[in-house]
Amino acid sequence: MIEVVCICKWRFKVQDEHAGLSIKCPKCRRLVDVPIAPPALIADEEERPELGEQPAPAAFVATADVQALQASIERLVAVNRSINNRLAWVVGLVTLILIRVLLRG
C-alpha cells in the first residue's frame, strides 16, 4: 500500500499497482498523483541538503568498493599462484640440473 496525501491534506492509502498514476481523492474528488516511492522516503530525501550524503549512493559505492577489493584480491591470488607455480617449476628444474651435474661430476 502507498500512502497518498491530497492537496486538501486528506491522507489515504492506495494499492501499490497505482504507483505513478493519478487517483481520485475520496474526500474532495480531485486527482492526486500517486508517488512511486512511499511519501515518507521522498520527504526524507528532500530534507537532505547535499546529494553526496544520501545513504543509497553511499551503500552503492561501498558495494562497488567491496567488489573492486574482491576482484583485486582474486587477481593477487591468481598472480601469486602463477608465480608459485613458476617458482616451483624453476626450483624443480634447477634441482634436476644440479643433481645431473653432481652425478656427472
Chain contacts with Zn ion (rule: CB under 5 A): 6, 8, 10, 25, 27-28
Residue ranges of alpha helices (H) inside the chain are 39-47, 55-104
Q: Which is nearer to Zn ion, 8 or 93 (CB)?
A: 8
The answer to whether 31 touches 4, Cβ cutoff 8 Å, is: no
The answer to whether 18 touches 2, Cβ cutoff 8 Å, is: yes
CA 91 to chain centre: 44
Closest approach of Cβ 25 to Zn ion, in Å? 3
Closest approach of Cβ 39 to Zn ion, in Å? 14
Closest approach of Cβ 20 to Zn ion, in Å? 19
Q: Which is nearer to Zn ion, 20 or 26 (CB)?
A: 26
